[in-house]
A and B are shown apart, each in its own frame.
Chain A
Amino acid sequence: MSEKQYTYAVARIRAKELSLLNDAFLEQLIAAKSVSEDMALLSEKGWKGRENADKQDPLDLLSYEEEKTYDTVLSMVDDPHAFDVFLLKKDFHNLKAAVKETYAGKAFADIYVEGGTIEPEQIKEAAKSGDFSTLPDSMKEAGKKALDTLLHYHDGQLCDIIIDRACLDEIKKASDKNKNDLIKRYGELTVALADIKTAVRGAKARKDIAFFKEALAECDTLDVTRLGEAASLGTDDIYDYLENTKYKDAVEALRKSFFAFEKWCNDALMDSIRPEKAHPFTIGPLAAYILARESEISSVRMILTGKENDLPDQMIRERISRTYV
């Protein structure tokens, strides 16, 4: 069956792409002297925040911009779940928070994130009662397993692995089911890059092969058995294995630093969505716009956090990924 056409929505997104932040503007933000100067620059660019807010809080501004993106794009499509695959990370993050909060037996402030496909309160209630049946299948199983593991072994890392793995499996499953190439590519890239990150971190912590079998999610562009074997031997073996995959360019960044690799991952995602600039009919450009906005919001967050903590400009610059425009 052919893909549905989104002629009106794509044309509207093309006009909206003009307001995306470009590299020059991000450089201006980095060069600004303070967070308030950055906020003023962002305001000039249309990032004005909520109407009823008395004083602009940078974090609230960023979450408002994220909400606005989804509201705008979802208003142009008839399926409210069209981009759920991008929100799964938030749901599983909240599941992780809820499980840990239940284990600790006390509430922590600001650990839940808004904007997922499921209300954080629902996930919190499920974990608190130990009854995950109100959640989708993948979250139900992962939540129960993670909570049981945490209560039994008191191992927070094991709990993280269970939930992260379930999240990656769900992203892969949801993206494979989608008809759009960009969403398929997003799922594959997200899982593969997360596997590489886990493999490198695990290798540095000298984890054994059983750990990697549990933590690495299946994907099409990596042989996770070989990656796990390589990771159990050390980082150099991971790099040797990656040299023969489509992620060979990541090796140089990995050798440099983990921040350089994080930047490489974001750049790879932006490169993978760039072909959508030439598609006038499919849902791809809408998905690309969401990912581009998420990337720029994350860059702005990094700049504002860097400014607040007096990080040198060069250090901030090294962590900022390429923009979509």
Chain B
Amino acid sequence: MSMGTVWALLGAALSALLAGAGSAIGVGKAGQAAAGVVTEDPSLFSKVLILQLLPGTQGIYGLLIAFITLTNIGIMGGSADMSLHKGLLYFAACLPMAVVGLISAICQANAAVSAIGLVAKKPDQFGKAMIFPAMVETYAILALLVSILSIFGVSALA
């Protein structure tokens, strides 16, 4: 296996790892807040559950990038040989999702915790409460798009 493949694999691994870790931290943090609210008012379970799950999407995006990268570099079938140059390009393509995935999941969790507090006090404001953490999702989606476009761009190179 060439060094190029090692770098590309590292990019895929980081993408799944960092974004997944961010989501795990985020869902865990929002889960604590959700449990606090449900302790006092079990009827709010479904509303706070949706807010708790919001920081979980980054983990899915990270997995998607890792999967596309693995498919493109031939690790999941075909030839896995590539130049160091191309391997580094794959690595760079995975970085947006890896880094932004980690940071945005944690930031989104902070917003979700605040939104859970809002729902606890004003359950009828659930719609508005959901928008605040959802805004953070924008940046995770932008990173996902850049990573996807970059991976397909790199794979089209000779």
- List the interface of chain A (C-beta within 8 A of B): 7-18, 278, 280-281
- Also in contact, A7 and B121, with CB within 8 A (given A12-B39, A15-B37): no
Question: CB distance A12 to B37 under 8 Å?
Answer: yes
Q: How far is the CA of A10 from the CA of B29 in the complex (A)?
A: 12
Our count of residue pairs bridging A and B at CB distance below 8 angstroms stands at 54
- Chain A residues, CB < 8 A from B124: none
- Chain A residues, CB < 8 A from B40: 12, 15-16
- Chain A residues, CB < 8 A from B36: 7-15
Question: CB distance B121 to A11 under 8 Å?
Answer: no
Q: Who on chain A is nearest to B48 by CB?
A: A11
Q: How far is the CA of A14 from the CA of B37 in the complex (A)?
A: 8
Decide yes or no whether B83 CB sits under 8 A from chain A: no
Q: How far is the CA of A12 from the CA of B117 in the complex (A)?
A: 8
Decide yes or no whether B14 CB sits under 8 A from chain A: no
Q: How far is the CA of A7 from the CA of B117 in the complex (A)?
A: 10
Within 8 A of A (CB), among B68-107: none
- Chain B residues, CB < 8 A from A16: 40
Main secondary structure of the interface of B (DSSP, over half): helix
Q: B21-56 interface mask toward A, CB cutoff 8 Å, 1 = contact, 0 = none?
A: 000000001001111110111001000000000000
> Which residue among B32, B35, B44 has the maximum number of chain A CB atoms within 10 Å of its CB?
B32
Question: CB distance A280 to B110 under 8 Å?
Answer: yes
Q: How far is the CA of A230 from the CA of B97 in the complex (A)?
A: 65
Main secondary structure of the interface of A (DSSP, over half): helix
A-B contact pairs, 13 of them (CB 8 A): A7-B36, A8-B33, A9-B36, A11-B34, A11-B35, A12-B39, A13-B36, A14-B116, A15-B37, A15-B44, A18-B120, A18-B121, A280-B113
- Chain B residues, CB < 8 A from A7: 29, 32-33, 36, 113
Q: How far is the CA of A254 from the CA of B72 in the complex (A)?
A: 78
Decide yes or no whether B150 CB sits under 8 A from chain A: no
- List the interface of chain B (C-beta within 8 A of A): 29, 32-37, 39-41, 44, 110, 113-114, 116-117, 120-121
Question: CB distance B113 to A11 under 8 Å?
Answer: yes
B34 to chain A, nearest CB (A): 7
Q: Who on chain B is nearest to A325 by CB?
A: B121
Question: CB distance B41 to A11 under 8 Å?
Answer: no
- Chain B residues, CB < 8 A from A12: 36-37, 39-40
Question: CB distance A8 to B114 under 8 Å?
Answer: no
19 A-B pairs besides A11-B34, A15-B121 with CB distance below 8 A are A7-B29, A7-B32, A8-B32, A10-B117, A11-B32, A11-B35, A11-B113, A12-B36, A12-B39, A14-B37, A14-B117, A14-B120, A15-B40, A18-B120, A280-B110, A280-B113, A280-B117, A281-B110, A281-B113
Q: Who on chain A is nearest to B33 by CB?
A: A11
Q: Who on chain B is nearest to A76 by CB?
A: B36
Q: How far is the CA of A11 from the CA of B36 in the complex (A)?
A: 5
Q: How far is the CA of A280 from the CA of B32 in the complex (A)?
A: 11
- Chain A residues, CB < 8 A from B39: 12, 15
- Chain B residues, CB < 8 A from A281: 110, 113
B134 to chain A, nearest CB (A): 17
Q: How far is the CA of A60 from the CA of B83 in the complex (A)?
A: 81
A69 to chain B, nearest CB (A): 14
Question: CB distance B120 to A15 under 8 Å?
Answer: yes
Question: CB distance B121 to A8 under 8 Å?
Answer: no
Question: CB distance B41 to A15 under 8 Å?
Answer: yes
Q: How far is the CA of A15 from the CA of B121 in the complex (A)?
A: 6
Q: How far is the CA of A10 from the CA of B30 in the complex (A)?
A: 12
- Also in contact, A14 and B121, with CB within 8 A (given A7-B33, A8-B32, A8-B36): yes
Q: How far is the CA of A8 from the CA of B50 in the complex (A)?
A: 17
- Chain B residues, CB < 8 A from A8: 32-33, 35-36
Q: How far is the CA of A11 from the CA of B112 in the complex (A)?
A: 11
Q: How far is the CA of A14 from the CA of B39 in the complex (A)?
A: 11
Question: CB distance B114 to A280 under 8 Å?
Answer: yes
Q: How far is the CA of A278 from the CA of B110 in the complex (A)?
A: 12
> Which residue among A9, A13, A15, A16 has the maximum number of chain B CB atoms within 10 Å of its CB?
A15
Q: Who on chain A is nearest to B112 by CB?
A: A280
Q: How far is the CA of A15 from the CA of B39 in the complex (A)?
A: 9
- Chain A residues, CB < 8 A from B32: 7-8, 11
- Chain A residues, CB < 8 A from B34: 11
Q: How far is the CA of A74 from the CA of B55 in the complex (A)?
A: 30
Nearest 6 A/B pairs, CB to CB: A11-B36, A15-B40, A12-B36, A11-B33, A14-B120, A7-B32
